[in-house]
Chains A and B, each alone.
Chain A
Amino acid sequence: DGVKDKEHKQSFDTSLLEFLVCPLSKKPLRYDEKTNELINEELGISYPIIDGIPNLIPQDARMI
């Protein structure tokens, strides 16, 4: 199962963080490797990264 997971999971390209911002506050985001999420500390929300593709739709964000 672990091997399958590794094949399937593509890693997030952190160079995107250079210009990726929260669509709501337009402030930079922090990449949390453990949860594989992009975090906006100020608003207390996190955006998921699925198969290496960050999802920055506010409606899909999670409160933390």
Chain B
Amino acid sequence: MAASIRSSCSRGFSVYWTFFFSGSKCRIPVVDVRESAWSAVSWRRYKSGSEERSTHFGFETVSEEEKAERVYQVFESVAQKYDVMNDAMSLGVHRLWKDALLHVMNPSPGTRLLDTAGGTGDISFRFLEYVRSQEARRAWRAAPSHQTPSWQQISASYQTGRLGTGDGALAVVCDINKQMLKVGRQRAVDLGFSTGLSWVVGNAEELPFDDDSFDIYSIAFGIRNVTHIEQALQEAHRVLKPGGRFLCLEFSRVSNPLLSRLYDTYSFQLIPVLGEVIAGDWKSYQYLVESIRRFPDQEEFKALIEDAGFYKVQFHNLTGGVVAIHSGFKL
């Protein structure tokens, strides 16, 4: 498995992949009575929702209403500094994690992506760049004897409007937070992305999209903040086309005890301080660290994805399990 992943990557990335990826597992779920009964129960629990129920906000226990409100406030308050903070906290490694997600996704021209909790557009921008570079490579391969295109070919490509448009690839960024989307759209303008991008304010638990609409559903560092994870997964399953793929990038569990201790010290001692110094917001970053510890580990989360009806669910650990990519298919 690891070998096949490595060989399918470009040469430049192979070293990097061996470094970041430590094994992947896969299991095809057998849908039994117990499992479907469980999901029916969880659905009912979600639906019967008017009475107050409690959930966690970091290490605190709060009502579900309050959690949604407080998560909103966290991201409203950090939106402007979000990208700077990501670089500072992860020492830039979050960029490699997001690149790794794109390599697993490996989108082709014409792919329609739903970038849930996509906020400032990191995944969608990478997606569009990836598709365009794929297309450029394909065009270069197709060109006779690998020459630069003649002016006739260039003018023809302008007329059909297919020069680097990603051939109809579309990324829809959906986030519950208006502030994050605003920052994202400004970045899109600054980076020169004009076609193939749409922005929608929406809730991952109640997606405003039709059934069977997307080829890929991605959620990067977002599902942790959703109040009802099972509900978000069911919505992901609904909006994906049959054959579509669910991809999630999220903090996970570090199994190596030494790395784990280092990571704990770093995140509990340093990250809130960085948050205070750079973004002037200790509490939001304290929440960030705590919410990471409350999120289910690799295997538990994999089981949740399988419960939502996805097949061939597998995960890859990145940086020793600090972060994991989970993937599953709707069949």
Contact = CB atoms under 8 A, between A and B. Distances in A.
Contacts of B210: 19-21, 26, 28
Nearest to A16: B198
B207 A23 contact: yes
B222 to A, nearest CB: 16
29 contacts: A13-B198, A16-B172, A16-B198, A19-B209, A19-B213, A20-B209, A20-B210, A21-B208, A21-B210, A23-B203, A23-B206, A28-B210, A51-B182, A51-B185, A53-B178, A53-B181, A53-B185, A53-B199, A54-B200, A54-B201, A54-B208, A55-B178, A55-B201, A56-B200, A56-B202, A57-B176, A57-B203, A58-B203, A60-B201
B208 A23 contact: yes
A18 B280 CA distance: 42
A16 B178 CA distance: 18
Nearest to B181: A53
A13 B172 CA distance: 12
A56 B200 CA distance: 7
Interface in A1-42: 13, 16, 19-24, 26, 28
A26 to B, nearest CB: 7
Contacts of B202: 23, 56-57
Contacts of B203: 23, 57-58
Contacts of A43: none
B211 interface: yes
A57 B172 CA distance: 16
Interface string B170-184: 001000101001100
Interface string B194-228: 00001111110011111101000000000000000
Identify which of B203, B207, B208 gathers the most chain A CB atoms within 10 Å of its CB.
B208
B185 A20 contact: no
B200 A22 contact: no
Identify which of A51, A56, A58 gathers the most chain B CB atoms within 10 Å of its CB.
A56
A21 B209 contact: yes
B200 A53 contact: yes
Interface string B60-73: 00000000000000
Interface in B84-109: none
Contacts of A21: 208-210
A35 B172 CA distance: 24
B176 A26 contact: no
Nearest to B205: A23
B181 A20 contact: no
Given A16-B198, A56-B202, 17 more contacts: A16-B200, A20-B209, A20-B210, A21-B208, A21-B209, A21-B210, A22-B208, A23-B202, A23-B203, A26-B210, A53-B178, A53-B200, A54-B200, A54-B208, A57-B176, A57-B202, A58-B206
Shortest 10 CB-CB contacts between residues of A and residues of B: A56-B208, A23-B206, A55-B201, A19-B213, A23-B208, A19-B210, A56-B202, A53-B199, A21-B210, A19-B209
Contacts of B209: 19-21
B37 to A, nearest CB: 25
Nearest to B175: A53
A60 to B, nearest CB: 8
A24 B206 CA distance: 7
B210 to A, nearest CB: 5
A50 B178 contact: yes
A22 B185 CA distance: 23
